[in-house]
Structure formats: structure tokens, C-alpha cells
Amino acid sequence: MSKHADADALTRLRAFVQSEKEHCQLLERIGSRLSARLRFTAARRRATCVDPVTDGFFDVTRQLASLHRLYADKLDKEKVMSHSDVVASVLNDLVLAVRDSYIQLQVQRERIASALEERLEVLLNESTPELVLFLAEHSFTADKLVSQPLDHFHRTLDGIESLVDPTSPVQAVCRETRALVESEARRHACEQHLLQLQEGFYNTVPPVDLFDKTLLYEDVATVKSSDQTDASPSEMTIHCFDDGLLLLSRQREATKEGALPSLQVQYRIHVRSDPIFLETQPESIETEPTRASFALVFRDTVLLLSLESSPKRQKLIDAIQSQLNQNEARRPALREGRTSEDLALPVDLQQLQQSPQKPLMVFPSFEDDDLPSVFWMQQADSTNVWKPVELVIFDSWLLIFALHGWKQLSLLHQVDLTRNETDILESAHGEKNWGLTITKDSQKIVLVSLLRSRVDFWYDQVFKALQSRVVEVQKIEESTKPASDTFIERKKKRVRNTVQVEATNEAEEETQESKASPEQKTPAKRAARSRKKESTEGAAAATAQIEDSVSKPETADSSSGKPQKDKTTPEPKTPAKRTARSRKRKADEEEEGAAQKDASTSEPEAQPETAASAIKKLRSPPVKTPKQRWVRRKTEDPEDSTLVSTQPSEESEASTKKTETSGVRIIFTGLEMTPKYRKKINAIDSAQYEEEIELVTHVIAPKNKLKRTVKLLCGISSCDHILDERWLDESARVGLAVFEKPYCLKDTEAEAKWQFDLHKTMYDYTKEQRRQLFRGHRVYIVNHKSILPPVQDLVKIVEHAGGTAITSGAPDASDLVITTETAMGFASIQKMLVSANPQRLYTPELVLSSILQQHIDFDQHRVPNSSSSSRRSTGGSSRKR
């Protein structure tokens, strides 16, 4: 440091010391002279001079004056000023000694100023000349008496930060002191506000106790209960606390002037323990653009809360949701408390419910969505009124219930999914929301949800039921057809398929022959092609003959009942036609036997049922829905708000094959493949189990159990996702691969132990980046039993991360050598590694940690060099001898 810089620092230090001495004089005037002046004035008037607040303030100022004087004297010495480390130490002690007192002054600032003003006002009104002269001499006011010491304290912190080195620990002490002052001020303000609230609540049983609580949210909202159908919403004050207490209160005006308004609690909700659920109303259906609403769904009621703006609503939702996440009792209560017996079913459906064969009931529940059947429905008599409803599939009916609580439902609509007039469409509603439009006769039911997964699920459910109806009708029509028609159609279809296959093969052979050289076009190949062509022409002629026989009415022989053959037009008996006829005759015999069997089963003795009655008895077969092709794309990014039509189109159908061929490839680590897991995998669209990690996209592990297995380490490099088994359960239940990120494997203890975050490893780095972690590195792995994991497993792990693994020969000087301290104790290993760089000897932990952290730290996990290992080995041998 230059002499000029030293001189400047010394000047600033002396100015700081002088400022501290002047501040000591101010504190002494307040703590000693002013307090004494007040005491003597009160004694002369024979009045009491006891005031705990002002007396406490004077005591603190006297204490601060002595502390500032002490440390100012320490700094005002040439020996101290010439040593920066000593100066820093004194300044550090000064801050630690005085900060608690200043914090108390900051906290009690308003209270002290009010007490001083009241005490001074009494004395000044009595025309006390001595006191007036004293205050005027020092320019004292009640507020200034408190603010001046606090302002100087903040200037002191600024001065200390400018005097010491930026890297000095004193800088951290100053920052910590500022944070403490602000924290204590906020805490005191919150406490004072809670005390005012405590005084404001009245007529509450049991009484509201706000001790040791923190207020998370306070605002005014309009509240309407589902029980109040015709009443207008009530304005209430909302208070949400950190222990899960949510109070909705009506405000009553103050009876006395200057008094605070009182609050009467209307709803006392324990968010952490009550079985309640939160449903946000989409912004696209808000009746007033300036307001935002959401619903709290209780067991027997629903509260609709409306706030002034979306930010305010979101802040309240976040406060409530943070407490709901700690409520472990509400989901079991919902699953155990909701049954089909609670539904107010019409009479015709009640008979189905009481039948021995229980009808199909769809009451879904998702992993991250407790009420996936809840939508907002537009009322038929008003375009601006929306209310929460819940959808239920009961046998072949879609039932829409008004939601008066998750156990209180009243039927609004009953949609028959077997009718041709019923249809469902999905469309955009607003900029970010999706909706369903269900057509029932001439009536349209509009349903909107903020969650896209709900729209996807219910579109699939209804579309599947509607498509199943079409399949059932086709089955009934086929079962009611005469056996001869069925037989002829099957025969035509089989012969037509044969002709198409042979024509395709012939076209391919012609293409290959046109590309072949003259030497490859042998007479034998030309003869074979000629025979195939004749066979195809014969099959085509047979198809035409069958179609002609179907188009003309056939006459049956009176004795045998078989159709008579047309003998007027003899067929040319070419070798090709004889070959085709012999094949066709064999197929006809098989079809005729099948047709006779169908005829015997399709002609019962009783009168056949009508198509309408048969539909109700047939169970719906599984149907693939066009929605499933789009759900996968949408679930890849839940934040995606792009509105893309999900109705089937030519382009979407053309892309189906690509989606199905890519699919989901699953492997387990830490789990055994059992029939239960295989059934779950088969339930997921386009999913299959793999034995080899190279083909896998999804690695499944037990929940909260992260172990560094070979499959997991290779999967980090080459797979898309490392998930826990909850993802498999949820995907199997939905039938599609759900969004993966929320199900990423998490083990807090293991991640802390190995210093990594699996979620960041998998999703902050692309798969291509993870595949190239060891790209350009040759990793020489010593073949020794002390290497763990085993050598072959390490080779696999390195190669999946893009590296080159070597296990034989001698390493190069640039190779990363993986060995252990135990292995280095053997002379044969030392001889093998003579050509290796001693600074590039590492334990297997280098590979394992690098894969997890996606960073190779060459300064960690080194193995001691060979010379030290040799000495240990020699020492061990001598002890053995």
C-alpha cells in the first residue's frame, strides 16, 4: 500500500474517532442532563417522576455513552492507529458491544417517543422556563431524542465498513448487525399487529389465541357458501397464520371514536388437519375481469372466495397450499369417505346399483390431484355464472353433480353415452385454459378446468365410451347377419388380402430386378417370376369370381340346399388357376366349418334380441382414443400454454406410428420384476420392459432409496429419466406415461452424502451432455479384486459416459488410472503402472462421483503415489517375517 493511501486511511480513522466522541457528548446530555432536568423539575412541582419507558431510555443512553467513550479512547492512540488488524479488532468489539442496545431502541422507538412527548408536554404546558431553555439550547424534540442515536449508529456501521478491508470479518459482522436490526423491527411490528388483532376478535368460542403465531396473509374478500344459493356474497376479512389457522371474519364498526373495529369470526378453519381441498377458478371464466376467485371444498360445503386481483389471490393460495401440504389426514379421509352410496342417483340407476352385478364406477384420484373430476360448469340460464361440478361415470352414463362439498353432491345432468346424439369436443377456452363441450340432444354442457390433465382424462373416458358404443353396434350387426353372408365376406377379405400381398411382393421383385446387372438376370429367376405372376392372376380371377357370385342371386338345389354352379361358362384350366384353386379350396373348407359353427351359435331357439337391448348387456371393449397421442406431448411440459387442437386429424394419425415405435422402455434397479410390476407396465400405452440398459428410457427405483448401482449410474448417462416407483403406479392407473419430473428419484441422505442433486443432474444437463462426460478420456482400470465396483461394471459405466475403458496392457502417461491403495501395495501392480503419471492415479470414487455430479474434479480422490505404497508394502512384509 502506498504512503498516500496510508495517510488517507489514517485521516478517515481520526474523523471516525472524533465523530464517536461527539456522539458520546450527545448521549451524555440525553442520559444525564435531560433526565436530571426532568427529575428536578418534577421534584420542584412535588409531582411524581416515575415513568418506566422514559427512565429505561435514559438508562440505555447512559450505557451507550460509556461504551462509545471506551472504544473511542482505545482507537485514539498512535500505536493502535498504525496497525490495521488492531483497528479492525477494536471496531469489531465496538459493534458487538452496542448493537443489542440499539436494536432495543429501534424496536421501542415509537413507544419511547410517545412517552417522552407526553412527559415533556405536561411540563412545558406549566411554563417551566428552565426546561424550555434547556430543550431550545440543544434543539431537542421527543422524536429527535430517539432518532439521533439511531441515525448515528447506522452512520457508524457505514464508517466501519469503509475503514476495514473488504475481506475482513468485520464486514460480515456489520452485515449481520443490519439484518438483525431489520429482523427485530419486523418481528416487533408483527407482534404489535397481532396484539391489535387479539383485542379486535370478540364473541368467539373458543377464544382466538394468537400467541406465538405468524401472520402469513391478511386481506378483504367476498365469501359465498354453496348453501347460500340466492344470497349475495358477504365481505369478510381473511387472516391466515403459519400454524394452519385460517379465519374468515365479519368486521363491525367501532362504537367509540378512535377505537379499532372489532371482528366476529364466521369460519374457523384448521388447514393442517381439516379434510379440505382447494380449487382455483380459471381466469377465462371470471365474471369480473378485475377479480379472481377460488373455492375451498369441505366435506359438506363449498366456500367461494373472490379477491381484488390475481396476484392477491395467488398469494393467499400459496399461503393456504403451504399448510395443506402438511395435512396428511385429508387424502385418507377423502378416499374412505366417498362411496357410490353417497350419490343422489335417479330411480333407474338406483336399480342398477342394487343389482348383483355392480355397475362400473369411475371415481378417479391422481397422485398430484385429489379431485380430478371437478370442473367449472356454465349455468344454462346465465353466461356469466359458473359453479363447481363433479363428473362421475356410472355404467354407461356420465353424471354431472353440483358440488356442495366433497361428500354432498346433487345431480344436474344425466348423459346417456350409448345414444348417437351424444358427443364430446375439446376446445380452447381463453388464452391458457381448456374446456370440454358435451352435446346432449340439443343441449350443450360447457366445462372448463385450470388443469389440462383433467380435460385430457375425461376426454379420454367419454370418447372411449362413445367409441365402445360403435364397436358394440358393429358386433351386434355381425351377430345378426346370416351365416352365408358372413362366410362370403370373410372369404372375399382373405382372397383380397392374398392378392394384395402377392402384388406387393411382385412389385418389389420387379424393382430389384430392374436394378440388377444383366449377369444376375438368370433364366431360372425369370421362370420363377413368371410362375408367381400366373399364381397372382389366378388369385385375382378367383376374387372376381367370388364377387360375381355375391352380386348375382344364387339358386339352391332342392335336395342339398347348396347353390348350383354355372355350367354354361367353363373356366380355362391353366396350371396357375389350378394352383390357386387348390389353395382356395383348402381355405374354403376351413371357412365353411367356421361358418357352420357361427350359424349354429347365431340362431337361438328363442326370438333374437333387438340391437338396443343387446347394447346394454354387452360390456364395452377397450378402445384406443386419439387423445392419447396428444396427452404424451402435453405432459412433457405442464407449463406449456400453447393451444393445439386435440381432435384427430390426418397429420396426427400419421404421427401415431412414430410415437408408438419410440415408446417407453423401462428397467428396474433395486426392484424385482414380478407379475404385479409387469401388469403395471403392460397397462401403460407403448411401454415395455427391457433387460439391457442400452435400450432404456426410464429407470425405476424404490422410493427414497438411491443406491449407486450399475444400472443407475449407466442410466444417468444414457437414459431420459431416473424415477421412483410412484411414477409407475400413477402411469399404470392413467394408462399413459405421466409427466416425469415430479417423480424424479429423491434421497436426501444419499444426495447429501455424495454431494449432488439427482434432479439437477438429470434435467439441468441434456442427455447428450451426460453421454459425453468422459469423452476424450482414456480410463485405465487396474484388474484387482480391491476395485469396487468390479472392473467389468466400471468399464460399462465409463463407456456409457462417453469414455474409453482399458483393462489390459500398460497405461499411457495421459491415461486416468483407476486403482486403490491396497492394489498399489503389490509389486506387480507397481511394475504394471511404471509408465503411468503418478499425478493421475485415482480411486473408483472419481468415476462414481463424476457421474452423479456431472463434473470431473481431478483434485479429488487421488491414490497415494507408488513410492509411499511400496514403503507400506515393504514394512508389512518385514513385520510378517
Domain identity same for 682 and 816 = no
Is the model more confident about 520 or about 64? 64
* Residues 169-191 pLDDT 10s: 999 999 999 999 988 888 888 88
Integer Cα distance of 435 and 430 in angstroms = 9
Amino acid present at 696: V
Instruction: For residue 805, give the 3-state DSSP assignment.
Output: strand
State yes or no: pLDDT of 244 exceeds 50.
yes
Integer Cα distance of 868 and 204 in angstroms = 78
* Residues 563-612 pLDDT 10s: 444 444 444 444 444 444 555 555 555 555 544 544 444 444 444 444 34
Instruction: For residue 18, give the 3-state DSSP assignment.
Output: helix
For the chain, the average pLDDT equals 77
Highest-scoring range by mean pLDDT, 591-595, 757-761, 870-874: 757-761
Domain assignment present for residue 705? The answer is yes
Q: Is 248 within 8 Å of 238 (Cβ atoms)?
A: yes
Domain identity same for 225 and 320 = yes
Domain identity same for 753 and 803 = no
* Residues 695-752 pLDDT 10s: 899 999 999 889 999 999 999 999 999 999 999 998 888 888 888 888 999 998 999 9
Q: Domain range holding 862?
A: 772-880
Q: Which of 372, 223, 365, 192 is nearest to 301 (CA)?
A: 223
Residues 371, 376, 378: CA angle, nearest 5 degrees: 155
State yes or no: pLDDT of 559 exceeds 70.
no
Average pLDDT over residues 792-807: 92
* Residues 201-214 pLDDT 10s: 877 778 888 988 99
Q: Among the three residues 129, 157, 188, which one is the final residue of a domain in this structure? A: 188
- What are the distances in angstroms from CA 870 to CA 352, 459, 811? 85, 72, 19
State yes or no: pLDDT of 634 exceeds 60.
no
Confidence category of residue 75, pLDDT binned at 50, 70, 90: confident
Domain assignment present for residue 34? The answer is yes
In this predicted structure, what is the pLDDT of residue 593? 52
Is the model more confident about 466 or about 414? 414
In this predicted structure, what is the pLDDT of residue 609? 43
In this predicted structure, what is the pLDDT of residue 114? 87
Integer Cα distance of 838 and 818 in angstroms = 12
Domain assignment present for residue 124? The answer is yes
Domain identity same for 26 and 170 = yes
Domain assignment present for residue 670? The answer is yes
Question: Concatenated DSSP letters for 589-650?
Answer: HHHHHHHHHHHHHH--SSPPPPHHHHHHHSPPPP---TTHHHHHHHHT-TT-------S--H
In this predicted structure, what is the pLDDT of residue 878? 35
Amino acid present at 98: V
Question: Concatenated DSSP letters for 427-459?
Answer: EEETTTEEEEEEEETTEEEEEEES-HHHHHHHH
Q: Among the three residues 314, 333, 352, which one is the final residue of a domain in this structure? A: 333
Cis ω for the linkage preceding 311 (within 30 of 0): no
* Residues 369-406 pLDDT 10s: 888 899 999 876 666 788 899 998 887 888 999 999 99
Please count the structural domains in the chain. Answer: 4
State the CATH number of the domain containing residue 16.
Answer: 1.20.900.10
- What are the distances in angstroms from CA 638 to CA 373, 453, 725, 769, 811? 18, 9, 21, 24, 49
Domain identity same for 169 and 227 = no
In this predicted structure, what is the pLDDT of residue 880? 34
State yes or no: pLDDT of 869 exceeds 60.
no
Integer Cα distance of 606 and 615 in angstroms = 18
In this predicted structure, what is the pLDDT of residue 50? 63
Is the model more confident about 291 or about 472? 291
Average pLDDT over residues 152-179: 90
Please list, in sequence order, all residues whose beta carbon lies within 8 angstroms of the beta carbon of residue 699, skipping any fewer than 6 positions away: 666, 667, 668, 669, 693, 711, 712, 715, 719, 721, 722, 723
Domain identity same for 723 and 829 = no
Grid cell digits, residue 31: 442520559
Instruction: For residue 825, give the 3-state DSSP assignment.
Output: helix
**Buried-state track 773-807, b at ≥16 Cβ within 10 A, e below 16:** bbeebbbbbbebebbebebebbbbbbbbbbbebbe
Is the model more confident about 347 or about 148? 148
Domain identity same for 38 and 114 = yes
Integer Cα distance of 659 and 657 in angstroms = 5
State the CATH number of the domain containing residue 319.
Answer: 2.30.29.30
Domain identity same for 793 and 830 = yes
Domain assignment present for residue 530? The answer is no
Question: Concatenated DSSP letters for 193-234?
Answer: HHHHHHHHB-S-SSPP--TT--EEEEEEEEEEETT-SSSPPE
In this predicted structure, what is the pLDDT of residue 388? 93
Integer Cα distance of 5 and 10 in angstroms = 9
In this predicted structure, what is the pLDDT of residue 298? 94
DSSP 741: G
Confidence category of residue 36, pLDDT binned at 50, 70, 90: confident
Q: Is 276 within 8 Å of 257 (Cβ atoms)?
A: no
Domain assignment present for residue 437? The answer is no
Q: Is 224 within 8 Å of 197 (Cβ atoms)?
A: no
- Lowest-pLDDT range, 119-133, 264-278, 700-714? 119-133
Integer Cα distance of 473 and 479 in angstroms = 10
- Rounded to 10°, the helix 675-683/725-734 angle is 50
Domain identity same for 324 and 273 = yes
Integer Cα distance of 757 and 767 in angstroms = 16
Paired with 409 in beta bridges are 403
State the CATH number of the domain containing residue 817.
Answer: 3.40.50.10190
Integer Cα distance of 293 and 313 in angstroms = 7
In this predicted structure, what is the pLDDT of residue 650? 44
Amino acid present at 694: E
Backbone angles phi, psi at 844, to 5 degrees: -60, -20
Q: Is 406 within 8 Å of 371 (Cβ atoms)?
A: yes
What distance, in Å, lies between the first and last C-alpha atoms of the chain? Answer: 63
Integer Cα distance of 30 and 476 in angstroms = 102
Domain assignment present for residue 370? The answer is no
Confidence category of residue 639, pLDDT binned at 50, 70, 90: very low
pTM, rounded to two decimals: 0.53
Alpha helices in 325-438 (DSSP H): 330-337, 347-353
Domain assignment present for residue 250? The answer is yes
Is the model more confident about 511 or about 90? 90
State yes or no: pLDDT of 551 exceeds 70.
no
Domain identity same for 153 and 44 = yes
Cis ω for the linkage preceding 789 (within 30 of 0): yes
Integer Cα distance of 665 and 668 in angstroms = 11
Q: Among the three residues 156, 188, 220, which one is the final residue of a domain in this structure? A: 188
In this predicted structure, what is the pLDDT of residue 359? 54
Domain identity same for 60 and 138 = yes
In this predicted structure, what is the pLDDT of residue 26? 85
- Lowest-pLDDT range, 389-393, 438-442, 659-663, 665-669? 659-663
Q: Is 321 within 8 Å of 389 (Cβ atoms)?
A: no
Q: Which of 727, 729, 732 is nearest to 697 (CA)?
A: 727
* Residues 832-842 pLDDT 10s: 888 888 888 99
Integer Cα distance of 756 and 390 in angstroms = 43
In this predicted structure, what is the pLDDT of residue 286? 75
In this predicted structure, what is the pLDDT of residue 367? 66
How, if at all, do strands 302-307 and 215-225 pair?
Answer: antiparallel
Domain identity same for 676 and 801 = no
